[in-house]
Amino acid sequence: MAPSGPLTIPEHLTRGAPVDRGSTDAVLWLIEHMCAHVGVPDLADVEVLDMGCGVKFTTTILNEAVPVKRYVGVDVFREMIEFLQANVDDPRFEFHHVDLRNERYNPDGEPLSSVAALPLADGSFDLICLFSVFTHLAPDDYREMLRVLRPLVRPDGKLFFSLYIDEVTPDGYGYIDSVVRMLDARPDLLDPDAVTVSKEPVPFRDVDPDEPLRIALYSEEHARELIEGTGWRVVELLRPGPHIQHSFVCAAEPPR
């Protein structure tokens, strides 16, 4: 069933990031970018779980008539999920609230380590994506998130997630690239010891302790180590682009 009109999101449900032409173009780019790296032409035959879904993918897919077989959005923001449940009248879409703890977005939620499973059927997705979720996860939750997601994907399924990696990149789109530019322009604004540029990266850094997990920064080595033993195998680590930080493409490993 096609939507009867454009889906409009109340501003207080967007977490301060407007849903506009710019964000729509960014999501279209992200979908094309993700599809190219998980090996599908588009999402027309793909059942997608978007963990930490927000609203921008839903509004873009609906309002821009992006093909998708099934889209399931999950988020800790209850009011937003309830709005989507009440206002998206399309059988391809469903939305679920989960009360999972995140120090930045849901500090009173249930710790991921105590969650046996998410309220979704095992083996029901071709693709699981997380945009700007691992960018706000501490190492323990990084592993736990991978653990609880693994049963939900089909044997040939893929995982795509973005994160902050502590390195300077050739194209200049990464977080550290932006820090280097700021240091070059206004060295008085930042403490050089707060970033890693030429020295060996530490495994993990919560960059801004005054705003916990606003930027969860990982060395590449540690980011890969945390995936080991979770049921996922790294296929590719992608460098940042104009609308995304580093991102991992992973494939499901057979159960041991």
Kindly state the average pLDDT of the residues 249-255. 93
Angle formed by the axes of helices 21-38 and 56-63, nearest 10°: 90
Q: How high is the pLDDT of residue 181? A: 87
Kindly state the average pLDDT of the residues 17-35. 95
Which sequence spans correspond to the domains of the chain? 11-252
Beta-ladder partners of 97: 75
Q: How high is the pLDDT of residue 1? A: 39
The angle at the Cα of 221, spanning 191 to 34, to the nearest 5 degrees, equals 95
Confidence tier at 110 by pLDDT (50, 70, 90): very high
CATH class in words for 11-252 = alpha beta
Helix (H) or strand (E) holding 79: helix 78-87
**Three-state SS sequence of 6-70:** CCCCCHHHCCCCCCCHHHHHHHHHHHHHHHHHHCCCCEEEEEEEEECCCCHHHHHHHHCCCCEEE
Its pTM stands at 0.93
Q: What is the CA radius of gyration of the chain?
A: 18
CA distance 165 to 172: 13
Kindly state the average pLDDT of the residues 39-60. 98
Structure-token pair, residue 181: 């530019």
Would the pLDDT of 195 be above 70?
no
Sign of CA dihedral 49, 206, 175, 178: positive
Tens of pLDDT along 60-73?
Answer: 999 999 999 999 99
CA distance 127 to 144: 18
